[in-house]
């Protein structure tokens, strides 16, 4: 069973304007009110490179459409999508694949000075700030959006509320009152799960290399995973990367899947099937692998994979330093980063918990490989992972 015309709010705008940050805030506000809400960052569902020019939106649209029934299976009432778009033709790539979604497209804007300040505040690729300004100026002449919201001088929370108001009280009147029906639908869905796309291996085919990076909180799973992804695709090998934390943002969570591993595993399989259809030759995944059962759940969603599980390790001092850095806003801006902006005492408690996690993983002997990251750069760790994994992905060995 599916819910017709589910509201989908698409936040677009130039690089650095705050699409993901504001989208996550809308997600949190709605889910706290009891509305079963999902959040997807479009950048996170098209990480398959190198690809022919002009195919990014096609890949993203297919990934979103593949994830859609799995969110519905969990009782989805509305979804927030954050991602760049600039023409009606690109929008149609998505609407054509999601006929039961009611799209509201909102373009965020801000003046050039504030855009530059926000962009540089991210601390990532500052040399591209003028490109972001040019992008913003081009979008001022576009006509793809249903509504445009100026976010200048507003806090993230204020912007989120203004967007929902300007979008006609999005997701619409009566949605909080629809929760009991949605809860009942979730029960029905769990008895009738949707089919999950799977990569079926032919009897004589060579298994596809999949590298899974796991480890304690703040050890650097995503950073190292993305570095390996970059190294591989720059050699001309079509590689894919998935951070499982970024493909399972749905709240309130299900009582019987509080870590959303079931949803993430289904979405991973769905996205990977699309990447394989696009010619991906290997996959890098970063995510939780806190038990053999968790690893088995994800491995079963990728039956044609030659899976190598690599656990990154760091000592207490290194973990404390990395937790503090993320708390200050260092590293890549990841939607929903639970460490960003926390007070020092909260960060200290998280660092202590991360050290306990690392010790527990050590005692359990988690992963096929253990890579120590203390005192080493991201590139050094990435290269060590690849070498110790047999010159991964080693497609011809």
In this predicted model, what pLDDT tens digit does every residue of 214-242 receive, in sequence order?
999 999 999 999 999 999 999 999 999 99
Task: Please give the residue that has the higher pLDDT: either 342 or 80.
Answer: 80
This prediction has a pTM of 0.89
Going by the DSSP 8-state scheme, the letter that residue 156 receives in this structure is H
Instruction: Tell me whether residue 27 is exposed, middle or buried, using C-beta atoms within 10 angstroms of its C-beta: 0 to 12, 13 to 18, 19 or more.
Output: buried
- Asked whether residue 190 carries a pLDDT value surpassing 50, the answer given is no
Q: How far apart are CA 397 and CA 387, in angstroms?
A: 13
- In three-state secondary structure terms, 279 is coil
- Residue 397: the pLDDT is 59
CATH 3.40.50.300 residue ranges for the chain: 6-191, 208-388
Fold of 208-388: Rossmann fold (3.40.50)
Q: Which residues, other chains included, contact 145 with Cβ-Cβ below 8 Å and sequence gap of 6+?
A: 12, 105, 106, 107
CATH number of 6-191: 3.40.50.300
Cβ pair 353, 320 in contact under 8 A: no
Over pLDDT 70: what percentage of the chain? 89
End-to-end CA distance of the chain: 46
Point out which residues pair with 311 in neighbouring strands. Answer: 214, 370
Segments of the chain assigned E as strands = 6-12, 37-41, 48-49, 78-82, 101-109, 147-150, 208-215, 239-243, 250-251, 282-286, 305-313, 369-372
| Residue 256 Cα distances to 195, 245, 287, angstroms | 19, 18, 20
- Digit-coded pLDDT (tens) for 85-120: 999 999 999 999 999 999 999 999 999 999 888 888
Q: What pLDDT shows up at residue 295?
A: 86
Work out the average pLDDT over 183-190.
Answer: 41
Residue 240, pLDDT score: 98
């Amino acid at each position: 069973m599916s819910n017709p015309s589910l509201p989908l709010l698409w936040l677009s705008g130039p690089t650095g304007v705050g699409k993901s940050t504001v989208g996550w805030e809308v997600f949190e506000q709605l889910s706290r009110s009891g509305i079963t809400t999902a959040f997807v960052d479009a950048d996170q569902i098209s990480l398959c490179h190198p690809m022919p020019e002009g195919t990014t939106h096609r890949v993203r649209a297919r990934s979103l459409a593949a994830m859609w029934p799995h969110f519905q299976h969990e009782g989805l009432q509305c979804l927030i999508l954050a991602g760049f778009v600039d023409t009606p033709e690109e929008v149609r790539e998505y609407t054509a694949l999601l006929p039961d979604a009611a799209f509201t497209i909102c373009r965020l804007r801000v003046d050039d000075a504030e855009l530059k300040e926000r962009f540089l505040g991210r601390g990532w690729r500052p040399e591209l700030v003028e490109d972001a300004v040019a992008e913003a100026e081009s979008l001022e002449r576009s006509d793809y959006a249903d509504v445009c919201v100026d976010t200048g001088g507003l806090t993230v929370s204020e912007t989120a509320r203004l967007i929902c108001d300007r979008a006609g009280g999005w997701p619409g009147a009566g949605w909080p009152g629809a929760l009991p029906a949605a809860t009942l639908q979730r029960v029905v869905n769990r008895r009738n799960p949707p089919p999950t796309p799977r990569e079926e291996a032919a009897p004589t085919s060579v298994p596809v290399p999949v590298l899974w990076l796991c480890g304690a909180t703040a050890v650097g799973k995503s950073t190292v995973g993305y570095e390996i992804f970059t190294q591989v695709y720059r050699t001309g090998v079509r590689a894919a990367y998935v951070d499982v934390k970024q493909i399972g943002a749905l709240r309130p969570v299900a009582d019987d899947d509080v870590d959303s591993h079931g949803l993430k595993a289904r979405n991973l399989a769905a996205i990977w099937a699309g990447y394989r259809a696009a010619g991906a030759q290997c996959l890098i995944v970063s995510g939780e692998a806190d038990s053999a059962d968790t690893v088995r759940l994800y491995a079963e969603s990728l039956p044609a994979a030659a899976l190598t599980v690599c656990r990154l390790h760091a000592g207490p001092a290194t973990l404390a330093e990395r937790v503090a850095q993320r708390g200050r806003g260092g590293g890549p801006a990841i939607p929903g980063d639970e460490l960003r902006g926390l007070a020092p005492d909260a960060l200290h408690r998280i660092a202590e918990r991360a050290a306990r996690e690392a010790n527990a993983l050590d005692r359990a002997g988690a992963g096929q490989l253990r890579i120590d990251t203390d005192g080493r750069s991201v590139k050094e760790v990435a290269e060590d992972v690849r070498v110790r994994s047999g010159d991964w992905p080693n497609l011809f060995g």
